[in-house]
Amino acid sequence: MNIKKIRLFCFFLKIVVLSFCSFVFLSCNVQAKSGNLKANGGISVLGTREFENQINEALLLLEEKAPEAYEIVLEYIGVIKQSEKSGMNAYTSPPTYEIADRTAFYSVTWCAGSIAHDSIHSKLYNDYKDQHSTPVPDDIWTGQKVELECIKHQIEVMQKIDAPKHEIKHLKDQNGMHFDLNDNGKYDAEDYELRDW
């Protein structure tokens, strides 16, 4: 092989190596993005791939069997994020529903119902905010009365999506005070710390 041929061979080898590297880099990038961020009817889902799949299944179930509830979710929840504890950050832009694994992975129907439940908290907060120039009082979107309203919506949704009877019964047994884990009659920081859901 003469010098010219060797140079030509090296040139093609470089192209092949560079193309391969670019392909690997792009593939990894696409995988990383789809694993952590995926638009779903406009909602961004942040978490592991298993979490993303679970949330997508729950959203699909709502879209198919409880379309009115699904519309509320799309309007009032912008991000669903895997977290240590569940809670609705209605006051962030976009409104973010943080959901713990215990709630998300209990079952797809339970996950869907909890998303629907918290979309009502966000709706109450954001509708008030849009209609008033004053700060949103806590009792507009939290507290026992509001929890009972959210649970009522959740039960209706759970029935539409054919949730197991024991899940619906558990909701019907609630008195709307599930947030008050230290039993002092109000929602406080300790309640949040005590959450295991």
Interaction between residue 180 and Ca ion (CB under 5 A): yes
Q: Which of 27, 31, 159, 182 binds Ca ion (CB under 5 A)?
A: 182
Interface mask toward Ca ion for 8-27; x: CB under 5 A:
--------------------
Closest approach, Cβ 38 to Ca ion, in A, equals: 36
Interaction between residue 191 and Ca ion (CB under 5 A): yes
Nearer to Ca ion by C-beta: 150 or 161?
A: 150
Q: Which of 32, 184, 193, 194 binds Ca ion (CB under 5 A)?
A: 184
Is the four-CA dihedral 195, 156, 69, 176 of positive or negative sign? negative
Closest approach, Cβ 136 to Ca ion, in A, equals: 20
Closest CA to 86 of 75, 77, 148, 162: 77
**CB-count burial class (<10 Å; 0-12, 13-18, 19+) for 55:** buried
Size of the site for Ca ion (CB under 5 A): 5
Interaction between residue 149 and Ca ion (CB under 5 A): no
Beta bridge partners of 74: none
First to last CA, the chain: 70
**CB-count burial class (<10 Å; 0-12, 13-18, 19+) for 69:** buried
Q: Tokens 């670019």 belong to which residue?
A: 22
Closest approach, Cβ 194 to Ca ion, in A, equals: 8
Closest approach, Cβ 137 to Ca ion, in A, equals: 18
Tell me how many degrees the CA angle 64-166-142 measures, rounded to the nearest 5. Answer: 75
Nearer to Ca ion by C-beta: 130 or 183?
A: 183
Interaction between residue 188 and Ca ion (CB under 5 A): yes
Q: Where along the sequence are the contacts to Ca ion (CB under 5 A)? A: 180, 182, 184, 188, 191
